[in-house]
Structure 1
Amino acid sequence: MLHQLKYKIIAFTIVFAAVISSCKSGAGISKKDSAAVLQKEDFKHYVDYFNKMEDENLKFAIPNDSAWAWMENNIPLFECPQQNFEEMYYFRWWTARKHIKNTPQGYAITEFLVDRSYADKYNMIACALGHHINEFRWVHDPKYIEQDVHLWYRGNDGKPMNKLYKFSSWTADALYNRYLVNKDEKFLLDMMPDMVTDYAVWEKDRQRKDGLFWQHDVKDGMEESLSGGRKVQNARPTINSYMYGNAMAISKMAAMKGDKALEEKFKAKADNLQNLIEKKLWNPKSDFFETFTEKDTLAQVREAIGFIPWYFNLPEKGKGFEKAWEQLKDEKGFSAPFGLTTAERRSPRFRTHGTGTCEWDGAIWPFATAQTLTAMANVLNNYNQEIVNKTDYFKQMNLYVESQYYRGRPYIGEYLDETTGYWLMGDRERSRYYNHSTFNDLMITGLVGLRPRADEKIEVNPLIPQDKWDWFCLDNVLYHGDIITVLWDKTGEKYGKGKGFRIFKNGKEIAVSDKLERLVAE
């Protein structure tokens, strides 16, 4: 008897040691059982359908036959009664996975699947790097986006890639936002010197004497705009807001490291930019942030880039800047049948001088839509105003979903006609699966409303109108090292967890309300 007990103890010790070793090596607890409410297999049918609807002429690190296995191990789960929202959620993870590419220096994340002549090594393009970081911060395995970032900043014999500075960037801000999700301080602070150097490069190459930054519209990734040109050196709301966001992020990184001098230095840079943007880029006649031209005059046209300051919570509260958001609902402004236009529709120059390949003079671009909806969620969460509300947000998210179909099938491409929904590059191979925007980050942080933060409180503020859906669930969200579940069940019959709105941490309920409202779990 003692002999048998001895071997049982030895066997248990071996198994326990193996589990501990697995956790220490990064394998962690199997995510097969990590979802608290939803069953992963219930969503596999989407991937089966996506795999069958295309010929897969291009295969990279994770081909279609491995797509479900990758998604099963890496993505949060989402379920709702509006089928197109649910389908698009899984489609966008399925397409994002296509852009993960193996290189001799680690993983890269591409923008186009087909090779582009103006791309860097491994077909990398820096224009949407901020979007890539914000989308991939929700992927459970960190190596994909971390190796991509390292490649961009250290992949050229320890130096940045040659074409990193071909496009404006909000990388430092995006990396800090990623830290708010995974709390990986080590990775963030390791990248801080690169971000400080990055900021200095932009100051040297693009800062004007007055302190604002200038950029060609094409190097903002927004060529043929109404306010600019490929060779015009304008102070645009884009690059100036990006640099404000980057300065704030670096200041916060420096505070984490205990570098008070660097913290104050970059906070001062951010404060100065905020002041300049509010004074020089705000047009009190149009109540909008506009491009400040190289002739030191405002462009006198509203463009979607005027919403970008709120992407970084830049505009001061209580100063009336929120009035700009009236244009989002105005059909003469940016409201169109298939989404948000990139320039105001009332302009006599609306969609008059695009090249036929890249038209930012009014057509709808998911890149800009994602930025505007991120900014709008910030307004609804962080500003006291009555101009836009949850209904307005849901309407635009709904249009964003509806626009991402082509010939009856899910599709994401470059840009589309604002009245017909026709994808203007939809029949060109280069446009298919264009990785140039966020969608699932909007679903998580905007629609469902999980608001990443630096402390250990869990804040959720859904932007879904109270009576729109009777139920929904976001599950298997890896946040601060825990698995978070957010669900709404109007009757309590769908999930069997009771009526109301609930937050779970590792399967344990930590907050509840009888209605859809902001919840903060201690």
Structure 2
Amino acid sequence: MNQRAGILTFLFVLCVSTVVAQKSKAAGGAVLKAEQFRHYVDYFNTMEEENIAQAVPNAQAWDWLKVNIPLFECPQQNFEEIWYYRWWTLRKHLKQTPAGYAFTEFLINRNYADKYNLIGSALGHHIYEARWLRDNKYLNDYLHIWYRGNEGKAMNKLHWFSSWNSYALYNRYLVNGDSSYLLDLLPDLETDYTKWEMEKRLPNGLFWQSDVRDGMEETISGGRKEKNARPTINSYMYGNAMALSYMETLAGNKAKAGLYASKADSIKKGVQQLLWNAKDTFFETRKQADTMANVREEIGFIPWYFNLPDTGYEAAWKKITEESGFCAPFGLTTAERSHPQFRTHGCCKCEWDGAVWPYATAQTMTAMANLMNNYKQTVVNDSVYFRLMELYVESQYYRGRPYIGEYLDEKTGYWLKGDQERSRYYNHSTYNDLVITGLVGLRPRADNTIEVNPLVPEKKWDWFCLDNVSYHGKLVTIIWDKTGAKYKKGRGLSVWVNGKKKASAEHLQRVTGTIE
């Protein structure tokens, strides 16, 4: 064999070995092995007959999941079971369309959906949850369909519901670091923002929306046709403007970055001046008649999802733990329980007048994690966060089996559309993102620093491991091992990047390290 042939052979073997190694890593992490958790998927596949199969049928679910998802282990079995269940259900919604992959909201067809049965109401949730999949093509295709799937233009019903898509897209970039994809979509997102301004902006600078087009029909504060300034759409538009400012900075467009930052600042001032009810100490809806709705609803926590409020508004969160406020036996209610109109709109036609909606719970828990990470406050702590996550986990069962649907009774936990085909596997919220960024505490950021701040009370769990997390092109492992006996990687909290320890602490606390 001559020298050139030997080099080529060596390179070929090296290439094959690399591919094999990558596939091997995809089947497990540095600490956890995928096969440890296969039994969950085997069980889910037997729970009921698969009458609707899309891109990845149940029979292929495990093969798809083991190469795409992070692995998670903890001593509280229901947290762990729902982790794998929610990835299993997300996979059910992956659909192959003529334009590429997409995620549906309902498995059955809906007459108000866009092409391919797509609905934009929970698109922000879809982005947050699916950003942790190892293969980027699923979200890449999905977003291209929404913004360019109508003969190169946005889908007809992209604005059918309020959205925080630009903000979610930027936060996806904080996970995968793919600025080229993000900036390629930037012109589409600029056009989208301008359209929202043309459609929904009020003379006072805030934005209006009817509750049904917020994805929240039959609220106490509004109505299906009322044009109210709601904390929802205004927080979304603030977040979108901030995200566009960051994107313009990435693109080197200094003037545009300043323009969007100014738009965001204007919305922020409007929200704090016009939507803050000083008497109720809460962000509330301003009615079309320019009067306050005077009802505390769960949407009042949404501003913190986008880190919108200045310091000084944290008193709103006192209601999160009060039984007369939002804390019920089976989760967070969508309206304050002591309000005279709580749950007065009847039942089972998608009312948001108090019942528990996972859509809203996911928003509130993301907002709470931001509050605890980004603000100096003493209103809530990790024990509050953990207990509310426990309630969220406990609610995701129906007749003894894992279940995620549309909404549920706050006192009994009964899924109000649980026996309807449309409600099964409802892709309308996040859970796994809450575990990653909240409980375990991986806080996505744009720089070369990896930051972890677990919100698990130290006395609750003696150990947990989040493994095989694709982050900035690396594989991240986060371990909590109180005694060091469980994982044999040392005592305490440790953060590993591609198998190398980057940060550690004796206790559950915020730690940082360098990715490279």
Matched, 1:290 2:284: yes
* Structure 2 counterpart of 1:175: 169
Report 1:53-452 matches (<5 A).
53-317=47-311, 320-354=312-346, 356-452=348-444
Q: TM-score, normalised by structure 2?
A: 0.97
- Cα shift at 1:368: 0.1
| Matching residue's letter, 2:287 | T
Give the whole-Å Cα distance in 1 for the aligned partners of 2:302 and 2:25.
37
Shift in CA distance, 509/17, structure 1 to aligned 2, threshold 3 Å: closer
Give the whole-Å Cα distance in 2 for the aligned partners of 1:502 and 1:13.
36
Do the aligned residues in 2 keep the contact of 1:224 with 1:355 (CA within 8 Å)?
no
- Cα shift at 1:111: 0.2
Give the whole-Å Cα distance in 1 for the aligned partners of 2:272 and 2:28.
46
Unaligned runs of 5+ in 1: none
- Cα shift at 1:301: 0.4
Shift in CA distance, 17/403, structure 1 to aligned 2, threshold 3 Å: closer
The alignment partner of 1:473 has SS state of strand
Give the whole-Å Cα distance in 1 for the aligned partners of 2:235 and 2:88.
31
- Cα shift at 1:10: 5.1
Give the whole-Å Cα distance in 1 for the aligned partners of 2:294 and 2:4.
84
Give the whole-Å Cα distance in 1 for the aligned partners of 2:173 and 2:188.
16
* Structure 2 counterpart of 1:467: 459
Q: Deviations over 1:184-214 (max 9, x none)?
A: 0001001111111111111111000111100
The alignment partner of 1:141 has SS state of coil
Do the aligned residues in 2 keep the contact of 1:354 with 1:360 (CA within 8 Å)?
no
Q: Deviations over 1:154-185 (max 9, x none)?
A: 10101111111110000000000000000000
* Structure 1 counterpart of 2:11: 13
The alignment partner of 1:373 has SS state of helix
Matched, 1:493 2:485: yes
The alignment partner of 2:67 has SS state of helix
Do the aligned residues in 2 keep the contact of 1:377 with 1:446 (CA within 8 Å)?
yes
Unaligned runs of 5+ in 2: none
Give the whole-Å Cα distance in 2 for the aligned partners of 1:17 and 1:364.
51
| Matching residue's letter, 1:454 | A
Do the aligned residues in 2 keep the contact of 1:34 with 1:483 (CA within 8 Å)?
no
Shift in CA distance, 29/40, structure 1 to aligned 2, threshold 3 Å: closer
User: Identity over the aligned pairs, expressed in percent?
Assistant: 62
Give the whole-Å Cα distance in 2 for the aligned partners of 1:490 and 1:211.
51
| Matching residue's letter, 2:399 | R
* Structure 1 counterpart of 2:496: 504
- Cα shift at 1:42: 0.2
The alignment partner of 1:37 has SS state of coil
Give the whole-Å Cα distance in 2 for the aligned partners of 1:415 and 1:29.
39
Give the whole-Å Cα distance in 2 for the aligned partners of 1:282 and 1:356.
31
The alignment partner of 1:166 has SS state of coil
Q: Deviations over 1:12-64 (max 9, x none)?
A: 233235567x69xxx96653466110011000000000001110000000000
- Cα shift at 1:237: 0.1
* Cα RMSD, aligned residues only: 1.5
The alignment partner of 1:78 has SS state of strand
The alignment partner of 1:342 has SS state of coil
Number of equivalenced pairs? 514
- Cα shift at 1:510: 1.2
Q: TM-score, normalised by structure 1?
A: 0.96
